[in-house]
Amino acid sequence: MTAILSVGIASLPYKVKQEEARQYVKRLFERSVPHIDRLLTIFDNGGIESRYFVQPLEWYQQAHCFFEKNDVYIESAVRYSCEAVQTCLQNRFFLENPIAYEEIEAIFYISTTDLSTPSIEARIMNKLPFSPATKRIPIWGLGCAGGAAGLARAYEYCLAFPTAKVLVIAAEFCSLTFQPNDHSKSNMIGTSLFADGVACLCVAGDGAIDARTRPYIVATESIFMPHSENVMGWDVRDEGFFVVFSKDIPSLIQSWLKPSVDAFLQNNGFAMNDIAHFITHPGGKKVIIAYQQALGIDERKMKLSFDVLRRFGNMSSATIYIS
């Protein structure tokens, strides 16, 4: 089986309490958005206490062109991904001895919040002493699902190459997609939820694992939802990324999720009651509650997701790696 050996999380520079973000948005939009106070209740009811951003709040008040925001993304992605990688490979909580860079056979890089060619993991290899033979697999465009998908691709790689150690890096800077002149409800909801985050996992195959107890990946699966392009994503315009955020996300979860999860568990010899904890993407308080209701489980099994949402907000693909 494939195991998770270690985790590393980057420390982003600006911690913002939810009330600070609420007051900031009120000042920014109160002259241009009718009934702003009614809309701002989403900040109060979202289950978030604080979030982390890559720039100070004042930076987001000004309009920045796509080019400028993308440059900040590239610089930040390289800097904080390197920090997350270094923490992961030297994390004494998980590791008796550090993992050498030369032991890493492949790097999966996951992101959806801006663009880079050459890709970010290539730039990281110019900063850290990985083997020049390290394979690089950038994965772009999966949004919030990217964290789970990246872990699944690493699992499959280690099944094929059982002696391999690989890294999965998720780097998201959702704050850089903020649009100060977008008065849509989607922008308001996104502003109340989204945050920045960077994390790295080290995953290894059977032949690279010592005898210590570790979390193992038993199986993975993804299910495609047809004709769901307008549920969540980006509209890419001259000013950058504009969030697409459907109000139907919680109801879609409730109607669609449980049969897929039931079938997946049964195919692997488990039932819903066998699972002690569910690590679901903390897309928002309503989203987590929809998971809970759809799966018919109590709040205790969702505690980890509620805690991450409260402390960090929605960091897109990086969120399920944070604890």
> Catalytic residue numbers?
144
- Cβ atoms within 10 A of the Cβ of 136, count? 16
H helices of 65-145, in order, are: 66-89, 120-125
- Write out the H or E segment, with its range, that includes residue 151: helix 146-160
Buried b / exposed e along 303-312 (16+ C-beta atoms within 10 A):
ebbbebbbbb
Phi, psi (deg, nearest 5) at residue 313: 75, -165
Cα–Cα distance for residue pair 40/110, rounded to 1 Å? 31
- Computed on alpha carbons and rounded to an integer, the radius of gyration of the chain in Å comes to 20
Query: Alpha carbon of 274 to those of 130, 181, 282: distances in Å?
Result: 40, 48, 22
Cα–Cα distance for residue pair 318/180, rounded to 1 Å? 24
Q: Which residues contact 35 (CB under 8 A, 6 or more apart)?
A: none
Three-point CA angle 10, 16, 17, nearest 5°: 125
